[in-house]
Amino acid sequence: MLGLKLPTDPRWVNIVEKNIEDILTDHAYCEQKATSTAISLIVSFPEYTELVQEMVALVKEEISHFKMVHDKILENGWTLGRDRKDDYVVQLLKFFPKGGSRTTQLVHRLLYAALIEARSCERFRLLSEELEDKELAEFYRKLMVSEANHYTMFLGFARQYGDRKEVDKKWNDLLDYEAEIMKNLSKSETIHG
């Protein structure tokens, strides 16, 4: 359903299990960045009324997810750690060239967002199925459903605002590129890395 070309190495869950505090901190920042992305799309493309309406709803949802993850951190007696660079996203953002028309820029940002949400969904599914901590596994199962909805929403908007054939080609090319990135990841206690 997600279209990802390379699944996460299942051994990634073993790394996560040994570093729950780190994964929760990384996850909290992912939710904060998702909130920022939605706000940025509103600021950058205010003329797309339907997109703005959906992004307002997304801001509320993502910040509530941040709070949920932050509450998990506090429940364990930890504090939110410092944000770290997300190598996955840094590498992903190198795919599309800078510039182009406003529509092209919008489509590229929507495709990036769709892919990040798809990978998050895939990772959350893995955590929901493989974590020994059943309460945490259930927590990730619930979040997985949201991520799937976000992925389809972003991809749908890209197809709505761009030329469908061109968008689908870019999407497939981006999926191939992401698969290459993933060959060198799945080795750290981060949501995407």
The model's pLDDT over 36-51, given as tens digits with 9 standing for 90+, comes to 999 999 999 999 999 9
Higher-pLDDT residue of 74 and 187 is 74
- For residue 145, name the pLDDT band (cuts at 50, 70, 90): confident
Average pLDDT, the chain: 92
* pLDDT at 5 exceeding the cut of 80: yes
The domain spans of the chain are: 10-183
For domain 10-183, the CATH class is mainly alpha
| pLDDT number for residue 146 | 82
pTM above 0.95, yes or no: no
One-letter amino acid of 182: M
Whether 127 and 140 have beta carbons less than 8 Å apart is answered as yes
Strands (E), 12-167: none
Measured on CA atoms in the order 68, 29, 73, 193, is the torsion positive or negative?
Answer: positive
